[in-house]
Structure 1
Amino acid sequence: MFRSPVSRHPLLWGTVVALCAALGGQGLMSAPVAAEPSASARVQAAPAPVSGYRYVERVSAFNSTSARSAVAPCPSGKVVLAGGARIEFGGRSVLLRGSYPVHSPFGDRWIASAEEFGNPLTGWRVRAYAVCANRPAGLTYHQAPAVFTSSSPKSVQRHDCPAGTRLIGLGARVSGADNRVGLNAITITPGLSASARASEASATPQRWALMSHVVCAGPLTLAFRQTSQWISPGSSPSATAIANCPQGTRAFGTGVLLAGSSAALNRLVPVALYPAPTPTPPHGTATVSELVPGTPLPWALKAQVICAR
């Protein structure tokens, strides 16, 4: 089902990987490879599974409004544990501005938001997904901001859960510089923590901020799965990867790991990043697309998913 990551520029690919390794420590380029969590990090013992599972999906209006959002609400008495977003008919001209949980006395929900940049579109929409359940032990919600400035790109490098709990859901959102800045990636990092990256699609002097969101709980029986091969777009401006959950588990937090130079990543948008219960097996889907007019630089992705019983 997966394609081997064959670069559209084979010589450039080797150069980009080398540069990423050399410059990653300076924050100038994204590292092309992230170490897989150890076996002990992928699976944690737990006394009980997640109970009361519910999967909710909602979609925004389909029209030419330049910005919109969709809200997937949890049923009464349930809490939001994970979720995702999908942009439909965006024509590579829509930025993902947010995919994140809201925990509130008035009801939990997952919000997906997106905005046009460049030429107006005749019609598009955004879809939100929420994974809801009965409240598990140790449930907490946390946010980690990147500084509110005009610099680009921005990233939250590592967002950990409190001791004794583990990551089950992750998200991110951008604020400020409307129609200019969007998310590039929301990633599950080694040890089951989270990171997020955003950049300007077009240069702006406006200040803006990036916020990372994590949902933590524990103890739970968790498994981390990641696409084994890098998926590259080839001659296409987009690529999709799917990470399947083990038998007997459900899909929760979903991330995407990107490889490429900083210049390449600045032109990418996750147009679909969400957990799905069907078709069997449950899985995490990641589709990444180049914003118009695209980029000649090589890049690749891996889908990631946290699975729980």
Structure 2
Amino acid sequence: MSDGTRLRRFGARGLVIVLAGALVGVLAPASPASAAVPGLMRISATSSFTSNNFQSVVAVCPVGKVLLGAGYEIIGAAGEVTVDDFRPNGSATTAPTSVYVGAYEIDELADPWMVKAYAVCADPVAGLVRIAVTNAYDAADVHSVVASCPTGKVLTGTGFEMQEVVGKGIVDDLRPNGTSATAPTAVDVRAYEADPFFGPWTLTAYAVCANPLPGLVQVSATSGTSSDDYRSSTAVCPSGKVLTGGGFEARDAFGQVVVDDFSPNGGPATGPTSVITGAYEEDPYSSDWSVRTFALCASM
């Protein structure tokens, strides 16, 4: 059938319908892109304020949400307490939904203190799992281990756990890879003995991993370098991105510095966009040192 025959057969009314349909196809707005991390929020839980040698707390995501990353804060100890456990739950086949934080006094502390756990939670994310890797069980002064995401997945959060060192170990590095232009896929954890400890112990690195998230990158910020007793730095996500998790590094400290605060901002109704790391010298330390903070950031 020729074009002319088609026009005669359908008439003017048919032509209007055809043209209107074409215009709808051209002018109709595209559906808005889905957020990379819908329902993002930060919640917290706090232990009792006591002078007990060990304190712990669990921050649990609301029902229906999953854990992408986490943080912690020691309140009232000023470098005299070390975080021994910073452990997301979940497994290599199940998504994490909470984080456990346990901390010991390094030396006896008469003053009361408490531990606070932060959970960065969101609506379910595809492929979310928790990977755990533990190093050799030995009496070495320094332990290190890397947890890598399965092939095809990216890193959204981090964690660690020391076993059997009981307050005599300090995690110096919780360092995700990646750059401001590439997604992180692994976390490198390093811990030192705070005081001589002659028994064997282990260090576990935890990686929270998911299918690729749009725009996921790692950005960092470093404090000034000095021999001050306290140092801090804040890593802020680029405009248009939100925080899923992060990490830290005490540089040139070699176990003489305790990361007291690793705290994402945000709240129950607000997604986090930055994380601050604060660290104290555990005992007087004359050398210069600094603290670096890592933020894992995805598109809003």
Q: TM-score, normalised by structure 2?
A: 0.79
| C-alpha contact 2:226 2:289 (8 A) present in aligned 1 | no
Query: What is the distance in 2 between the residues matched to 1:61 and 1:129?
Result: 15
Query: What is the distance in 2 between the residues matched to 1:307 and 1:240?
Result: 20
Letter in 1 for 2:218: F
Query: What is the distance in 1 between the residues matched to 2:52 and 2:120?
Result: 28
Letter in 1 for 2:166: D
How far has the Cα of 1:306 moved from its partner?
0.4
How far has the Cα of 1:253 moved from its partner?
1.4
Does 2:79 correspond to 1:79? Answer: no
Alignment partner, residue 160 of structure 2: 172
SS at match of 1:150: coil
Which of 122, 131, 139 pairs up with 1:133? 122
Alignment partner, residue 218 of structure 2: 224
Query: What is the distance in 2 between the residues matched to 1:211 and 1:235?
Result: 30
CA deviations on 1:111-153 (whole Å, 9 max, x unpaired) are 1111002132320011100011122112121001111111111
Letter in 2 for 1:295: Y
Letter in 2 for 1:206: G
Q: CA RMSD in A?
A: 2.3
Q: TM-score, normalised by structure 1?
A: 0.77
Query: What is the distance in 2 between the residues matched to 1:98 and 1:149?
Result: 18
Letter in 2 for 1:225: V
Which of 190, 196, 209 pairs up with 1:197? 190
Alignment partner, residue 117 of structure 1: 106
Which of 281, 288, 291 pairs up with 1:290? 281
Which of 263, 266, 269 pairs up with 1:274? 263
| C-alpha contact 1:188 1:257 (8 A) present in aligned 2 | no
Query: What is the distance in 2 between the residues matched to 1:203 and 1:144?
Result: 25
Structure with bigger gyration radius: 2
Does 2:289 correspond to 1:302? Answer: no
| C-alpha contact 2:233 2:278 (8 A) present in aligned 1 | yes
Gaps of 5+ in 1: 1-45
Alignment partner, residue 256 of structure 1: 248
How far has the Cα of 1:184 moved from its partner?
1.9
| C-alpha contact 2:42 2:271 (8 A) present in aligned 1 | no
| C-alpha contact 1:180 1:204 (8 A) present in aligned 2 | yes
CA deviations on 1:206-263 (whole Å, 9 max, x unpaired) are 2111000001111212132111xx4235352111100111223221211113321xxx
Letter in 1 for 2:278: T
Which of 177, 183, 186 pairs up with 2:174? 186
Which of 47, 58, 66 pairs up with 2:45? 58
SS at match of 1:302: strand
Which of 204, 209, 219 pairs up with 2:202? 209
| C-alpha contact 1:67 1:116 (8 A) present in aligned 2 | yes
Count of matched residue pairs? 257
- Determine what percentage of the aligned residue pairs are the same residue: 27
| C-alpha contact 1:90 1:124 (8 A) present in aligned 2 | yes
| C-alpha contact 1:76 1:107 (8 A) present in aligned 2 | no
SS at match of 1:265: coil
| C-alpha contact 2:236 2:273 (8 A) present in aligned 1 | yes
